[in-house]
Structure 1
Amino acid sequence: MLESTVTSKGQTTLPKDVRKFLGVDTGDRVRYLIIGNEVRLLKPRKIMSLSGSLKHDGSPVTLEDMDAAVRSVAAERHSG
């Protein structure tokens, strides 16, 4: 387990092994995610790293088709 001290200004130094694991360096940003009684430290992703993560094997769908599908599901949920 790794530890660091919090200064009077609320600052801390990330241990070298943590910086290496996250791939962060001087000037990089980190993100804090609070889940229950835990805090997770993350390296924010660049938006382009998400490219291709939502693959669709069918034919292209128009924005109008997507809007219609969302309206349909919303109507079903509100009618039940």
Structure 2
Amino acid sequence: MNEHLQICARSKMTSKGQTTVPREIRDALGLAEGVQIEWVVNQADGTATIKPRTLRAVDLAGFLGPSPVGPVSIEQMNEGIAEAVAERFARAVKR
């Protein structure tokens, strides 16, 4: 049995092009405040599809800006992480 559940809801657009996503739609898509949504318009039939935009690792490339020390190897990253964990542990033990 292959059922397709459809949820229909309506909302108005303001003069600024804004609209409220109805609760039924937010709930069905798992949308929460701050979540980006992606609009896909099929110009052939005039339909629009919206879906939550999930970040991929590639979307974060360059997010923090250039590395202050230049490129580093995986081994160097692992060493840095290990040092940070050891420092954090030492601070926690002193409390």
Q: If the length of structure 1 is used for normalisation, what is the TM-score? A: 0.54
Number of matched pairs: 48
Matched residue, 2:25: 18
Q: Which structure 2 segments of 5+ residues have no match?
A: 1-7, 58-95
TM-superposed CA distance for 1:44, in Å, is: 1.2
Q: Percent identity?
A: 27
**Structure of higher CA gyration radius:** 2
Q: Which residue of 37, 40, 46 corresponds with 2:49? A: 40
Runs ≥4 in structure 1, deviation > 3 angstroms?
none
**Which amino acid letter does the alignment assign opposite residue 24 of structure 1?**
L
Q: If the length of structure 2 is used for normalisation, what is the TM-score? A: 0.46
TM-superposed CA distance for 1:27, in Å, is: 1.1
Q: Which structure 1 segments of 5+ residues have no match?
A: 49-80
Bigger CA drift: 37-46 or 8-17?
37-46
TM-superposed CA distance for 1:46, in Å, is: 2.9
Matched residue, 2:35: 28
